[in-house]
Amino acid sequence: MLKLYDYPQCPYGQKTRIVLAEKQLDYEFELVDLRNNGQHSPEFAMLNPLHKVPVLVEEYDGEIEMVVQDSTIINEYLEDEYPEPALLPRADDSAARARIRELEDHADQLFVLAAGTLIAEHAKPAETRDPERLRRAKEEVDKTFRRLEDELEGGRIWLGGDQFTIADAAFAPRLLLLSQRGVELPASMPQLRGYVDRLSKRESIRRLGAF
């Protein structure tokens, strides 16, 4: 039995839930209420002393067999344990696998944070926005948009070509939330616009509902 300790709006948990859906794995969702500091409860701290979601737990006969922390490590674990359908390029293509992992890292370390800041600043009344925070966030988001446009050149459907990957799962939540919050994709980037449209229609992502 798999259990995912998570918060519905966490983009890192969302990327893991996309991977679980892609692999058609059943699991129990255990809410960690970040709004009420649920990540600091003694019970959750036993699973992750860093107080971060998501955490994946594998149980057998009610006993914990495995605890995996961090969305990237969880997704790698799921790829190892449940290799079909594959969400990384084939094992003998190390360069392609490294590229997908680097893109996922870009999403986690740069894009998700900048997109979250941009969304938060846009949600404020105009007179209370922090112009410098807004500028820096928009600059980072625009850099990511340009990179994705370049990565998708040549007719790639997904970042892995015809193959949906862990990198697509990492970018999807914040890309779609930006669109939902009125941050328009550049008209000069047709590859990116088509990509976001495909993401919005993919079943594993649609299951998440609102971001």
Domain presence at residue 116: yes
The yes-or-no verdict on residue 10 having pLDDT over 90 is yes
Residues 123 and 63 in one domain: no
Handedness of CA 164, 53, 138, 105 (dihedral sign): negative
pLDDT, tens digit (0-9, with 9 covering 90-100), for 169-196? 999 999 999 999 988 899 999 999 999 9
- Are 138 and 186 found together in one domain? yes
Is the pLDDT higher at 67 or at 208? 67
Q: What percent of the chain has pLDDT over 90?
A: 91
Q: What DSSP line would sit under 124-150, residue for residue?
A: S-GGG--HHHHHHHHHHHHHHHHHHHH
Q: Looking at the structure, tell me whether residues 202 and 118 fall in a common domain.
A: yes
86 domain-assigned = no
Domain boundary among 28, 58, 81: 81
CA dist., res. 112 & res. 155, Å (int): 25
Q: Tokens 């990492």: give the residue.
A: 170
Q: Which domain, by its residues, includes 187?
A: 94-206
74 and 99 in a single domain? The answer is no
Separation CA 136–CA 42 (nearest Å): 37
Residues 190 and 99 in one domain: yes
Residue 95 CB neighbours (<10 A):
7
pLDDT above 70: residue 104: yes
For residues 11 and 16, give the distance between their C-alpha atoms in angstroms, rounded to a whole number: 9
Give me the CATH number covering residue 191: 1.20.1050.10
Do 60 and 158 share a structural domain?
A: no
Mean pLDDT, rounded, for 49-62 = 94
C-alpha of 190 from chain center: 22
Band (62; pLDDT cuts 50, 70, 90): confident
Instruction: Report whether 4 contacts 30 (CB < 8 A).
Output: yes
pLDDT tops 70 at residue 146:
yes
Domain of 6, CATH number, reads 3.40.30.10
Structure tokens at 162: 């015809």
**In sequence order, which residues have a C-beta less than 8 Å from that of residue 4 and are 6 or more positions away?**
13, 16, 17, 20, 27, 28, 29, 30, 54, 55, 56, 57
User: How far is residue 73's CA from residue 94's CA, in Å, rounded to a whole number?
Assistant: 18
For residue 47, pLDDT over 90 is answered with yes
| pLDDT exceeds cutoff 80 at 210 | no
Same domain, 104 and 194: yes
Q: Give Cα 36 to chain centroid, integer Å.
A: 23
180 and 114: one domain?
yes
For the chain, what is the domain count? 2
Enter the pTM of the model. Answer: 0.95
Hunting for tokens 């996309």 — which residue is that?
Answer: 18
Averaged pLDDT for residues 147-166: 96
DSSP 31: E
pLDDT above 90 for 61? no
Report the mean per-residue pLDDT for the chain.
96
What number is the average pLDDT over the span 101-124? 96
Q: Is residue 128 part of a domain?
A: yes
Task: Using alpha carbons, select from 84, 51, 89, 45 the residue that is nearest to residue 70.
Answer: 51
What would the mean pLDDT of 86-101 be, rounded to a whole number? 97
Strand 2-6 to 55-60 pairing: antiparallel
pLDDT at 211: 59
